[in-house]
Amino acid sequence: MVKLLTPGVEEDDGSEKLVDEIFAFFLHMLVALAAWVAMMLVGYAIHPASVPQAAIFALSLFVPLVAGYIVARYRPNEMAAHIWLAGIIWLLFLSLWIIDLPTGPNACENCSATEKIVRTLFSIPGPSGLLDDNGPFFGTWPAMAMVGYAVGAGLVLRKKKQQR
C-alpha cells in the first residue's frame, strides 16, 4: 500500500517487505522439512536394524542444521534463523491434540497429561500407544528439523554480522 503525502512523493508502508518475509519464512520451513524427509528416506532405504530413537532425534536435528548452514551461507536471509518458532508451535499444537486423545488399555491408561505428552512425543520411558506410537515421527522429529535448520542458519548469519 502506498500513501501519497504530496503530489509526486510516495511513502512505502513496508507491505512488500512483509510479503517477502512471509514467503521466505515458509520457503525456509519447507527446505528444513525437505532435508529431514530426505534423511528419513535414506534411512528407510538403508533400513538399519534397530536404530535407537535418540539417534534419529539427533540426526533430525543435525542434518537440517547442516542444510540450514549451507543455504544461509549461499543465500543469507534473516527469516531462516526464525523458523524454530514454527517447530515449537507445531509441538504445542500436537501437545494439545495429544492431551485430548482418549486413553484406554495399551493407550496410556491412567496417564497424567504430562506423561501422555512425554511418552507420546519422546517415548520416555516407553511409547504411550497413542498415535500408533508414531508421535516422534509426526511431532518431535519434524519440529527438531526446523529448530536445527534455524540454528545452522543462525550460525552463519551471526558470523556475517560480526564481520561487518
Q: What is the pLDDT of residue 40?
A: 94
For range 97-108, the mean pLDDT: 86
The answer to whether residue 136 scores a pLDDT higher than 60 is yes
DSSP state, residue 156? H
94's CB contacts (< 8 A; 6+ apart) are 121, 135, 138, 139
In angstroms, the CA 132 to CA 55 distance is 20
The 10s digit of each residue's pLDDT in 56-84 is 999 999 999 999 999 999 998 999 999 99
Q: What is the pLDDT of residue 58?
A: 95
Q: What is the pTM of this model?
A: 0.85
In angstroms, the CA 82 to CA 94 distance is 20
Q: What is the pLDDT of residue 127?
A: 85
The 10s digit of each residue's pLDDT in 11-70 is 666 778 888 999 999 999 999 999 999 999 999 998 887 888 899 999 999 999 999 999
**113, 28 Cβ separation under 8 angstroms:** no
